Amino acid sequence: MADGEPLRRALLRVRTADHWVLEVERVRPPGPARGVAVVGHAMMVDRRTLDRPRGAGLVSTLARAGWEVFAADLRGRGGASPRASEGAAWSYDDLVRHDLPALVDAARRAAPGLPLFVVGHSLTGHVSVAAAGCGLYSVAPDGHVLLAANHWLPSLEPRRARRALKAAMIAALSLAARSTGRMPARALRIGTVDESADYARQLVRFWRDDRWRSRDGACDYLAALQRVPGSILAVYSRGDRLLGHPEPAVRWARHLPEDAEVWICGRGAHGLTFDPDHMQLVTDPRSTPLWRAVATWMSTRAQAR
């Protein structure tokens, strides 16, 4: 499909089981859809990172490759949800139990009968596989593309220096959440969206306990990764120096089913001319060849269903 063909866009609102409202942009391909892609963002940002430049970013690239895209904002951002700066509270578990299941259900209702993949950058990626592994979807996604998705745990970080740096960052996060009542990403200039203090406290607990699991202990998210159904592609970049460094990230990905694919990308791989960092993997137009390779992988897996 030609890059210049128009894409039809519409804003939707999705209500979760616990009564939050999430904003979603539906982007339709110029021709018949090959499948549905629920595309979600990283921590401390929103869905705007997923289509930069607008009309030529990741979302638009997937749509022009024939995918009907639902670009989603998780709670606490977008035009429909209250913000942490306004006193809104949510936990990591809320995203796993409510947000991703509601978004996938809504996309299936809007485009029934098509294969559905979740394309999750960082946060959305690990939240979705946690939901899938714990059996929280009414109908699980047919596949996942995990872009820099991983989870920080001391036992997964083999390098002492990186482990110490991550521990210091977690301690700073804990202090900021206690002192401000939220995770002040905007004030610290580390993101555009503040996260809830409850969410921040749960991240701190994951690191402190060296366990990625729900607060009530009902689901061990790390152990559940081996139960994630469908096709899985995990993509990491050599230029991601900390947040999704390939070394600990691949250790995390090894908990996925044995047939999950892992790509380590960078200059010379998948058409890239540079080593993207954590955000450039989805925001830099130079990553377009990689996005097209991901779309091709999705189409191949969808046809094999």
Write the DSSP assignment of 175-186 as a string of letters: HHHHHHSEE-HH
CB atoms within 10 A of CB 304: 8
**pLDDT for the residue 29:** 97
Cβ contact 138:97 at 8 Å: no
Torsion of CA 60, 61, 63, 66, to 10 degrees: 160
Q: Which residues of the chain have pLDDT under 70?
A: 1-4
Residue 56 token pair: 């030529």
How high is the pLDDT of residue 3? 60
**Of 125, 158, 167, which Cα lies nearest the Cα of 256?**
125
What is the pLDDT at residue 199? Answer: 97
- 59: amino acid identity, one letter: V
Cβ-in-10-Å burial (0-12, 13-18, 19+) of 221 comes to buried
Tokens of 218: 């009902």
Give the pLDDT of residue 81. Answer: 94
| DSSP at 281 | H
According to the model, what pLDDT value does residue 74 have? 99
Q: What is the secondary structure of 92-115 as a DSSP string? A: HHHIIIIIHHHHHHHHHHHSTTS-
pLDDT of res. 5: 72
User: What backbone torsions phi and psi does residue 278 show, to the nearest 5 degrees?
Assistant: -60, -45
Give CA–CA dist 239/280, Å, rounded. Answer: 9
Which structural domains are found in the chain, ordered by start?
A: 8-152+220-303 (3.40.50.1820)
pLDDT at 1: 46
pLDDT at 22: 98
